[in-house]
């Protein structure tokens, strides 16, 4: 997960400000892949990579010539098996998630104050590549 913090308000702040780190133990992607992710997570909508531009990005296009698409037909009975598997995955994911979590108003206040402080420094932000 590119964004990680035990405190929800700090986590949300990291997400909103695109403050993330490529930890070497979790990231094995190339510099070109990092550039692609950076462009997608750009906080400025005008500078952010659009979906149209994303599919034209060098990293995205790089391996297309090596890919071979093989279309296989499947029997209709496979469809019900796939649906059952998806359903059980969905149930497991809901039971593991925080859907029932109520947000503490103090947490919201902390997030708001964090965002106000960060807004002052947003122009000076940089991306971190495994170093703080």
Task: Read off the pLDDT of residues 48-93 as tens digits, 9 standing for 90 and up.
Answer: 999 999 999 999 888 665 656 566 676 766 666 666 666 555 555 5
Phi, psi (5° rounding) for residue 21? Answer: -130, 140
In-domain check, residue 45: yes
Among 13-22, 38-47, 51-60, 115-124, whose mean pLDDT is lowest?
Answer: 115-124
By three-state DSSP, how is residue 128 classified? strand
Question: Which residue reads 């807004």 in tokens?
Answer: 119
Q: Which structural domain range is residue 52 located in? A: 8-95+106-124
As for how many domains the chain has, the answer is 1
In-domain check, residue 90: yes
In-domain check, residue 114: yes
In-domain check, residue 1: no
In-domain check, residue 75: yes
Q: Kindly indicate the confidence band of residue 26, based on its pLDDT and cuts at 50, 70 and 90.
A: confident
In-domain check, residue 34: yes
In-domain check, residue 129: no
89-129 residue pLDDT tens:
555 555 555 555 666 778 877 877 777 777 766 655 555 55
In-domain check, residue 100: no
Question: Which residue reads 């991306």 in tokens?
Answer: 127
Question: Rounded CA gap, 113 and 119, in Å?
Answer: 10
pLDDT of residue 132: 45
Residues facing 114 on adjacent strands: none
Higher pLDDT among residues 112 and 32, named by residue: 32
Higher pLDDT among residues 40 and 62, named by residue: 40
């Amino acid at each position: 997960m590119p964004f990680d913090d035990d405190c929800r308000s700090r986590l949300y702040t990291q997400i909103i400000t695109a403050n993330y780190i490529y930890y070497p133990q979790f990231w094995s992607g190339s510099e070109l892949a990092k550039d692609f992710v950076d462009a997608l997570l750009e906080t400025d909508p005008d500078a952010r990579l659009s979906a149209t531009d994303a599919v034209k990005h060098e990293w995205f296009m790089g391996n297309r010539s090596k890919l071979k698409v093989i279309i296989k037909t499947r029997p209709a009975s496979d469809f019900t098996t796939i649906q059952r598997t998806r359903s059980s995955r969905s149930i497991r994911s809901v039971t593991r998630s925080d859907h029932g979590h109520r947000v503490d108003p103090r947490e919201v206040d902390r997030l708001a104050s964090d965002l106000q402080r960060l807004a002052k420094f947003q122009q000076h932000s940089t991306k971190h590549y495994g170093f703080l």
